[in-house]
Structure 1
């Protein structure tokens, strides 16, 4: 038995090192194998993650040597940590501290420290044993961090045809002859020069020179001072030419310990790794080669031809070179993510192995084993963003890939806000998935963001289209290296929306606009002119604002500051106000509704035959935007009357600065009304209105008086709205009505529904309200299909199993004029005759407003009108007006109630719909929605 000794190398454990408790390695920590002439140990990275670890060697005498880089290259050890933090430990069977039995059995004791730090570490001991034989006459081993050659030192018999086969041997004879006996020495041949060292001196230069029972070994790290770089058939080799000898008094033993290893020889195509080495290592071969054989493998394991074929590995040979071809991405290697200049990419690594055997006349059988780790250059990976958003689902849905599993999504920047992905939030949802179309880079990150999230930019772009924009910056990290990179995404989707619509009307003093909301204007900001409309701003300016879930009604005085006076002339005043929806961020006007009204003022200038002149002019403070006062030419003449809107001057033709002139047959009196600033009444007026009265000089006025019966007085009509409202009561007493927030009202099948129709804001006791026809629909549109009749020609629907019941109305605190009310009761949805298909219904009625005078009773006789009387009533249109009124939504529940019917509250739907009946002439309302739409609302005469 023998051990490899350390010649001249002194290593020891620190005397102050703490005492440790040694134990066998736990299951799963180590995986060991014998791979040809190499001990192979794999360490589980899960045991080592985040911990301190180190590897030491225990020699047969129990002495411990820490495996440092210098110790490893000199003594034949290799420790590698790949890009995935997998730890691999390799040792030659001829390494230092290996216990060798007959050059066939090799034993090695490894000590592994694992802990939180150097002091607090557990120590595990593992003994390895490998068998290796027979040996080739010369074996060369090219590791990652050292070159090694071992040759037989057995003296061969003398043959008759003995011939010296190496000039190097003859060159060292002078040194060997003069050398001191009993000492191993080595001669390095460097470009015709020689450098002789004792083994002790060589050890100090980091060489390893040892002997076993039958072999001499030289080991050296790459790029020593004695190494040369030689180009052989296009491949660079690191070559050390050396001879090792031992002298006795009667003989000199000289051994050729030259060694050569390839430095690279790797090239790449888009999908292949090509590793090229010389077929004949000429620095090592000095005689003819008879035959050679080449095998390849991975991770130190040779592969047979079948396995190579399955994995598409090939070895190509020619007279000078061997070329191993391996597909990039082959199963024996691995990919790893990297980041270069902010660009995500990958590298592929594989640990190739070459065994080359040849026979020559000088040595017989030669063997060279090469371990050659290969890593491809950086391969940029373009990231793939897939947008699976369906706008109708109101959800951004995007995935970003493709990544290796070592990439983690660590942060998201949405708009201007950044969010760690490991925190729960309602703003977005992110999770990791896999791309089924990819086998290697298949990790994807899926992001979901509701379109109503505050990080989404919402913009109305016109034509009923709203655009949603989401800016995303993905921040990802490659672990465990903590390499960070980002990827931006700009996502845009468009969605068709329902735009708001509006209607408007005017009375003598006010202008009113009713807006029916669309699907998105709840995100827009309403403005009247340049003033943002809020309940507070409306109250401060004297506006009347009514809001519910579906409608907004705004009424403003005709002289409000935001009203534009477009024209003042002898016909009167033309005013306009604008209701705008603005973008909530940019304040860009998205929709503009404009209400225009003409307010007539009769008798602007009246000229009396007596010479009295009356002038009525509108006040101009609001129109001109300044405080001022109206004056005649004679500023001492004061107005006779003043109101909020007009000023009246009443004076004689020979006063107040009135001038007179004659023109043909007319005598003309002229004056003017001027508007001056209060702060500067002596300056030029801001406005002048010239007035004149023309009198015909030669005209004769004949007056005649006679007695006659006074004619019937004519009626000068006044105009204004009559407003109807339909509401639902909670019980038959009609004392409690559902409020706006109660709609939609929930009712079970056959539940009674109590309906009340009321004429609002009218104090005429001679008016009575009658129901003509009532029906139900599944839509707020009273004209929609299907329809279910409830009251037909003022009578209950006789086709219903449960007929409509009419309830009388008595005067009460809430009911001042019972004739202005009508009440009836229906059984919920029995009017459909069992054909129930809808979840909600709306009630509608057509109504008539009639005189209560008994003389006309046959025109509007009551709740159920015979056919003949209905015809007569329809023929006379001068005694009544007609209109329509609708209710809010009623939800139908098919569940059987567990107790008393519970009225559920829902969204803020319109609790009651108001129908407006107009009398008088037409009012023109202009509605603007990114354009101008004119609508005329014809008002009917109220008798």
Structure 2
């Protein structure tokens, strides 16, 4: 017998070569029984294959050397039935012979198998007479086989008992029977008496039976999780082996009988328990759910505010970990802060009762059978609990949650600069659930302020405060988010619509006083926060120019300039300026706008998308010949190991030498969000970060078989670095770049005029000409180890 262990199949089928590599068959259950194979799985889906050395696919040159070949098989069921060899093989039997051996295999459910009660034990029996012939002679070999059935096994909660007849009558041909030896094994491997004793097995004989007893959970078997009707169950499986040797004196002969018999206990209900380990002074729920076998995995947890995966729970500030025990079981430990929005609380004058509802979503591997466990836990905490605010944003709203502590009757909420009275509350969506107040505020609401206006988004800020008239405590809360918003719309007939909004840094601005380049062109509509303009490409001072195949219309919205005192006719720089652009192309209209920073006149770069596409790659080495594929991320790198980046602007047909790619800013973050913190600057205004002890190294780009126009490429080298966090040995790092696409035929300042913009500007950011555009690219994640 040959035994082979392999890893999890994960739904893949086993295959065997049918005597030559060109013929491959799936190893089905029928083929396995016919050809001498058996396949077993452990609790984690790992496969173990047993193959007889006389299996169907073994090259056997001695069978024909004997001169005999099998022609006919006679089955006794108990009446006789004569079957030719080709029909025997077609019906699922396996049969072969050699000069010294005849091998016949049959599935237990074959129609020629019958059942016989032997010493009170039900057994499956097959009796055959096989006729072999050569050119001169024929011979007949009678054979019988008897296999135990599930009826030979009994179970108690702690013990498995397997009974095999001491004298197996279907295999005995004389009255002079003598049992000589009995050996015990597991999974085809014979055990010594010491091993049998050490495992707690018991092998005994009486007048009628050989009796094997195995404790449930003993070494040699394994437990497996199961799910039935949504309930968690466990079974224990083991495959004992018996080798029996007896002799018969009429005529004298020895018979060796071996049987491998897989046994699985009936499913046992395994109740789960949730254990509270809460320490109220720590302000968190601590619970443990268990115990499970190792093949159970936590998939998600449902709280009152939604379903969270394990990763999402940890990201939210919860803590989930597996606790493993010496007996092979495990439990799941969960920590949730009292302050999380999933926690309910109710209060009286002296106590706060925190309640946490949970539904654990679990699965049994490898088949992913799912089941759930529902639990509720609560804790009472003495003392005054202060109120607090948390908040998030979606694509157009601020969502604020106010937890009022146990002083809800005195709490006052201020939104912006206004007390949240019932009249003002009608302007927003407000839901109260116990001590929680959920407030939804649109980003353009009158109680919000605009911080920055860009081409496709507005960064809006909401300020709130909680005031307790009794304790005089005030808690402040501010939340800033960027919201997608089209401020400029370009119509095919040449009409342009633009919106300007009052921003926080210019509090004295009156929107109705804004004008276009032509001071006579004021807003079509205005209020105390916004001004809307409607004009055409031929009015209000709008200018136009041609850039390649694109016509660019430009205007600007600003406050009228005033003379500077004592400087003759010199005008002061406008406090507010919003540039408006419209790009008219074939069958397409593009628009963009940017607002200067009112405090230092530091303009935002124009953002467009056009037909150019910028991509960033990570090369395998400094040759820049081979690049990492998407499926290879996250890459695993060590600290100080170099990374080789290449940024390319893809030009249609790759045929425009006027396009020049410039790197403006490059930086690294721990999250894919390019605006996340912490942030490490790599390239600033096209130059290496001088404050970095391991500065970026720029590499030249030369034309070759892949690079037709070097101006379309930029290459730089970065050494892997560490965000200083001693608690984490590894990090996922993302690298981002803002790039500027220049037109070489138009002179301009800033990045488009020089390789490194801050060499002469001392770190200040330059304005860019209308022929430039800014794009954003990201590479990663890169898994960095210290």
Query: What TM-score results when the alignment is normalised by the length of structure 1?
Result: 0.40
Query: What TM-score results when the alignment is normalised by the length of structure 2?
Result: 0.48
Q: Select the structure with the greater relative contact order (CA < 8 A; seq sep ≥ 6).
A: 1
